[in-house]
């Protein structure tokens, strides 16, 4: 069980045994699209100009199938099944374009000024995944969309703070500059992986932010029916489990990367089963 990250494209619960069989092929097709684009942006040693050119060509194929055309031979195995999903499920293709926008940004941008700028990245890198899945489940309400956005943004942030030691070694820094300065830390200190009480306080701050977002979105598990709702329970609890592990290591993710393993499965099952629907208040609203 791997609720937070499947393969190397984060935040995508891909056709696990909990996924409704009728949606499995659609989810796999969307995942294949996202995984391939992520590889183009981030894998290998190609220069930035080549990565961008490949992503633009990939976007051109998406635009081609969006209008009923044929994709290029290069990614036919990705776009032919995706075209079927778009046609059968009336998939909102703009969300797929948003994902590509985030991947393109990853090629050219490695610093973020403040939380708003980072959340805008999450809006395109993570939130489309949740919205696509809600679309497949036929869930359209604004409250559900906002909860989905909160969960997906939280997962993306958790992945950043979990991978701090990995990203800084690649000259990539997702910690907002405003937060860095507020804690009296420098970008160079982080890139040099110089741990300190101030760095750990910074990680504690942004990790608490991610937890707040996750808890804001968590009630969505009671909206998605059946097995899909259970899969989301594990996704939410997997994210919270990583946060717990970050806290237990005293927020030292500049030195080491916490992860979820098989021994965490019973804990995740217990916590997922314990997620209760909020009780209504006297005014009829959910507490």
Q: What is the CATH number of the domain that holds 163?
A: 1.10.600.10
| Statement to judge: residues 119 and 228 lie in one domain | yes
Neighbours of 89 (CB within 10 A): 16
| Statement to judge: residues 126 and 249 lie in one domain | yes
| Statement to judge: residues 78 and 219 lie in one domain | no
Enter the tokens of residue 124. Answer: 């395109």
Neighbours of 219 (CB within 10 A): 18
pTM attached to this predicted model: 0.91
pLDDT, position 184: 98
Distance, in Å, from the CA atom of 11 to the CA atom of 126, rounded to the nearest integer, reads 7
Which residues are CB-contacts of 151 (< 8 A; sequence separation ≥ 6)? 130, 213, 214, 217, 218, 220, 232, 235, 236, 239
Quick one: pLDDT band at residue 280, thresholds 50, 70, 90?
A: low
| Statement to judge: residues 95 and 53 lie in one domain | yes
- Examine the pLDDT at 279 and tell me if it is beyond 90: no
Whether 2 is in a domain gets the answer no
Domain count along the chain: 2
pLDDT, position 11: 44
| Statement to judge: residues 269 and 237 lie in one domain | yes
- Examine the pLDDT at 273 and tell me if it is beyond 50: yes
Distance, in Å, from the CA atom of 189 to the CA atom of 274, rounded to the nearest integer, reads 41
Distance, in Å, from the CA atom of 282 to the CA atom of 287, rounded to the nearest integer, reads 9
Mean pLDDT of 160-183: 96
- Residues forming a β-bridge with 6: 9
Distance, in Å, from the CA atom of 278 to the CA atom of 93, rounded to the nearest integer, reads 34
| Statement to judge: residues 216 and 81 lie in one domain | no
How many CA atoms within 13 Å lie on the side-chain side of 182?
Answer: 15
Neighbours of 42 (CB within 10 A): 15
Quick one: pLDDT band at residue 44, thresholds 50, 70, 90?
A: confident
Whether 240 is in a domain gets the answer yes
pLDDT, position 45: 86
| Mean pLDDT, rounded, of the chain | 91
Neighbours of 121 (CB within 10 A): 19
| Statement to judge: residues 67 and 209 lie in one domain | no
Enter the tokens of residue 115. Answer: 């939380």
pLDDT, position 162: 96
| Statement to judge: residues 255 and 153 lie in one domain | yes
Gyration radius from the chain CA atoms: 19
User: Residue 280 in 3-state DSSP?
Assistant: strand
Distances (CA, A) of 256 to 74, 184, 224, 251, 279: 38, 22, 35, 10, 40
Whether 283 is in a domain gets the answer no
pLDDT, position 286: 52
**Tens digit of each residue's pLDDT (9 = 90 or more) over 219-249:** 999 999 888 899 899 999 999 999 999 999 9
- CB distance 5 to 151 below 8 Å: no
Whether 280 is in a domain gets the answer no
- Examine the pLDDT at 283 and tell me if it is beyond 80: no
Domain hosting residue 261, numbered range:
111-274
Distance, in Å, from the CA atom of 238 to the CA atom of 232, rounded to the nearest integer, reads 10
- Examine the pLDDT at 259 and tell me if it is beyond 80: yes
- CB distance 177 to 111 below 8 Å: yes
pLDDT, position 7: 40
- Examine the pLDDT at 18 and tell me if it is beyond 80: no
Whether 49 is in a domain gets the answer yes
Neighbours of 66 (CB within 10 A): 16
Name the range with the highest mean pLDDT among 6-15, 16-25, 101-110.
101-110
| Statement to judge: residues 116 and 104 lie in one domain | no
pLDDT, position 285: 52
- DSSP characters for 139-180? ---HHHHHHHHHHHHHHHHHHHHHTHHHHHTTT---S-HHHH
**Tens digit of each residue's pLDDT (9 = 90 or more) over 56-114:** 999 999 999 999 999 999 999 999 999 999 999 999 999 999 999 999 999 999 999 99
pLDDT, position 136: 94
Distance, in Å, from the CA atom of 89 to the CA atom of 84, rounded to the nearest integer, reads 8
Mean pLDDT of 193-200: 97
Q: Is 90 exposed, middle or buried (0-12, 13-18, 19+ CB in 10 A)?
A: exposed
Is the model more confident about 20 or about 117? 117
pLDDT, position 180: 98
């Amino acid at each position: 069980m791997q609720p937070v990250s499947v393969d190397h494209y984060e935040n995508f619960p891909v056709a696990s045994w909990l996924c409704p069989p009728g949606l499995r092929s659609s989810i796999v097709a969307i995942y294949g699209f996202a995984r391939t684009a992520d590889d183009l942006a981030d894998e290998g040693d190609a220069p930035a100009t080549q990565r961008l050119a490949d992503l633009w060509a990939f976007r051109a194929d998406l635009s081609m199938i969006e209008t009923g055309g044929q994709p290029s031979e290069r990614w036919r195995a990705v776009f032919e099944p995706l075209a079927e999903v778009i046609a059968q499920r009336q998939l909102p293709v703009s969300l797929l374009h948003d994902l590509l926008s985030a991947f393109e940004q990853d090629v050219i941008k490695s610093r973020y000024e403040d939380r708003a700028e980072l959340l805008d990245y999450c809006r395109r890198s993570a939130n489309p995944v949740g919205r696509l899945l809600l679309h497949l489940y036929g869930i359209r309400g604004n409250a559900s969309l906002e909860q989905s956005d909160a969960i997906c943004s939280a997962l993306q942030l958790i992945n950043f703070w979990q991978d701090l030691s990995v990203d800084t070694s690649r000259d990539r820094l997702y910690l907002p500059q405003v937060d860095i300065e507020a804690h009296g830390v420098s970008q160079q200190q982080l890139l040099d992986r110089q741990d300190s009480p101030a760095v750990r306080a910074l990680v504690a701050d942004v990790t608490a932010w991610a937890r707040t977002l996750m808890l804001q979105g968590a009630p969505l598990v009671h909206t998605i029916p059946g097995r899909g709702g259970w899969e989301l329970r594990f996704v939410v609890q997997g994210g919270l489990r990583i946060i717990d592990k970050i806290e237990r290591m005293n927020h030292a993710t500049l030195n080491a990367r916490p992860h979820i393993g098989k021994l965490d499965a019973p804990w995740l099952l217990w916590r997922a089963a314990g997620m209760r629907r909020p009780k209504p208040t006297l005014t009829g609203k959910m507490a």
